[in-house]
Chain A
Amino acid sequence: MPTKKLSLGQLARVEGEGTLELALRDGRVETARLRIFEPPRFFEALLRGRAFSEVPDIVARICGICPVAYQMSSVHALERALGLSVGGELRLLRRLLYCGEWIESHVLHIVMLHAPDFLGYADAVAMARDHGSEVRRGLALKRTGNEILRLLGGREIHPVNVKVGGFYRLPTRAELDALRELLEGARREAVALLRWVARFPMPDYERDYEFVALRHPSEYPMNEGRIVSSSGLSLSPEEFDAEFEERQLPHSTALYCALRRRGSYLVGPLARYNLNFDRLPPYVQSLAEEAGLRSACRNPFQSIVVRAVEVVFACEEAFHLLAAYEPPEGPSIPLSPSPGEGHACTEAPRGMLYHSYRLDRDGTIEKARIVPPTSQNQASIEEDLRLLAESLLGEPEEILCGRCEQAIRNYDPCISCSTHFLRLAIRRS
């Protein structure tokens, strides 16, 4: 039977360029493809020959929305290659910096990009006409996240203060005190944000994903942990290649990352939450339950609620980290170049981010590998879209397409990272 091609315009409110193509035949969805045509920028190639000390500044440029994630994965991998470990108060400051990025990135996505789908607006500006106080509250929360980034990083986009071994300069007591006041307000506002999104109408859809996230002995994961999955996987970042592989497909400039033996899996807030619910403080757990979540959540549309839970957590965590902080002796620990190889995973707002580097004797990068969260989720996004579209085939096209776009945004995909605007095209037989 011939197929009819239907173009449904551009999917917006995502970070990047691509299209979604659905091919429908005999009442079934034949294929669902997320075509990514973000122009490749070849970071892994351009890092070769650079000094290890330049890496955190360079990899930040992979993504303007989560530069700290790239900086954190890189410094941890490079420190392992150099045989050193950054602990104590410097480790605390790194976790505080990451809280800033989680707050800024999550609130941007929840309020500016995703909420309009649930409430039926084209964008946050239109939504602000009817939900002005919620949008303003979102912008204020996002500003708090950005203030953390500005203080510890120097600026919110492409921070300048992160280095292998620690920081260039430590924050002063007065600077931290100002932050503490802001965070007190943010803790209340984050709870209000969670209660707001908990009331959104939720599409009824569940899938049995294999969740993959870091797991730390005592903390909700950010910079450290073993890679674990809901199917029993447990490995160190050094063993990443043994279980995961990257594949290139003709329709995408992003590489697909899959589990060698099982295929697609899911990283991100939903995976972190499902695998680490017991690592959330009891106060955050009870707020999550009050918001209608249980310790297990398999509805990807509820990721917006989980993201809000993580905003509550990040504000709490940042507040307590600040209270516990005692200035260390120096802003960084001394190091000297040496040959070696290092691997690290950290939890970017969108999910686990893997980096590995090999250094030569004078600390020059011989080899770099980066596996961003969106390329890990790509196969899962396509499976969601196929199943979802199939369940909605009887609905008008407008509903089908709207729901597909919303489903893509469940992943907060960052296509700049993975290789960037989605356009939706449907071919019908």
Chain B
Amino acid sequence: MPTSPRPRLAVWKFASCDGCQLSFLDCEDELLSLAGEVEIGYFLEASGRTLPGPYDLSLVEGSITTPEDTQRIREVRRLSKRLVTIGACATAGGIQALRNFARIEDFVSSVYASPEYIQTLERSTPIAAHVPVDFELRGCPIHPLQLLEVISAFLAGRSPAIPTYSVCIECKRAGNPCVLVSRGVACLGPVTQAGCGAICPGYARGCYGCYGPMESPNTPSLARAWRALGSSRRDLLRAFRTFNAGAEAFRRESEANAD
């Protein structure tokens, strides 16, 4: 009987810190067995050997910030049967989307002496703003076990089991005392999607929202709770404007607290 060929996987990078790709290499125990299940067709950070498309599954890290990349992402989509975006840059524009709230000229000239050499777009945008995306895996960075779940699900042809409820659910399950209720610490957990394992409350600090908005976030209500704890509007503006500043619910709440 003929054996079916192994599915071909590709990993692509746009504007990002490489951390989500590294999550892949951080699956130390599973890495070599995964490499046996799939054929790695394109993953420049790990290998100089590339195989031609089409790819059965493409993982895309990073956001779109240059004119060239708006074209390159279309080519990646064309070569990919399934396309999954990984991380806050790819799903929301990343920390570099803070430019969306400023004048890009000011940003470029404050870093580079000769701004004319720098080609950049005014906005940092998620991949889904440019091409159809089959699944978005959240996180800054993504969680390695969630990544393995997504890859396994796509290889098996089922939907990934990635919860969209809030960090609070994970936090209760981890047995943490609520930092907001018991210690009055400002926490974004109630409006942030689970997935990280509620690390920050586990380390005695408030969640800072690196997995982006949960499925039905009530940000105005949380903002009122923060104000009652003594947070200023500027604190709220800053809190909603970090790694997922470009995600709709967080963007709206940050603007509601802008002067």
Contact = CB atoms under 8 A, between A and B. Distances in A.
Q: Do A and B come from one complex?
A: yes
Interface of A: 9-17, 38-46, 48, 50-51, 54, 57-58, 61-65, 67, 108, 112-113, 122-126, 128, 135-136, 139-140, 142-143, 146, 154-158, 160-161, 163, 168-169, 248, 250, 253, 255, 331, 405, 414, 416, 420-421
A83 to B, nearest CB: 24
Contacts of A41: 15, 65, 94-96, 124
From B14, B45, B94, B99, residue with most partner A Cβ within 10 Å: B45
Contacts of A17: 13
The range of chain B's interface size is 35 or more
Contacts of B222: none
B125 to A, nearest CB: 12
Interface in B100-130: 102, 106-108, 110-114, 117-118, 120, 124
Q: Which are the 9 A-B pairs with shortest beta-carbon distances? A: A64-B19, A123-B47, A12-B48, A122-B49, A45-B107, A41-B96, A169-B204, A39-B15, A12-B44
Interface stretch (B24-32, B76-84, B148-156, B158-166): B24-32
Given A42-B108, A157-B26, A248-B112, A124 B46 contact: yes
B20 A64 contact: yes
Contact of B118 (A40, A123, A136, A331): A40
B65 A421 contact: no
A155 B106 contact: no
Contact of A44 (B44, B66, B111): B111
A13 B22 contact: no
B107 A46 contact: yes
B117 A61 contact: no
Interface string B7-24: 000000111111111110
A113 B18 CA distance: 14
Interface string B203-229: 111001010000000000000000000
B19 A168 contact: no
B85 interface: no
A157 B22 contact: yes
Contacts, number: 180
Nearest to A140: B28
B64 to A, nearest CB: 9
Nearest to B88: A61
From A17, A46, A160, A253, residue with most partner B Cβ within 10 Å: A46
16 contacts: A10-B50, A15-B45, A39-B69, A43-B95, A64-B21, A113-B46, A125-B47, A128-B32, A139-B28, A143-B28, A154-B200, A155-B141, A155-B199, A157-B23, A157-B26, A161-B203
Given A13-B45, A169-B204, A42 B17 contact: no
B1 interface: no
Contacts of B202: 154
B104 to A, nearest CB: 9
A45 B110 contact: yes
B110 A160 contact: no
Contacts of A163: 205
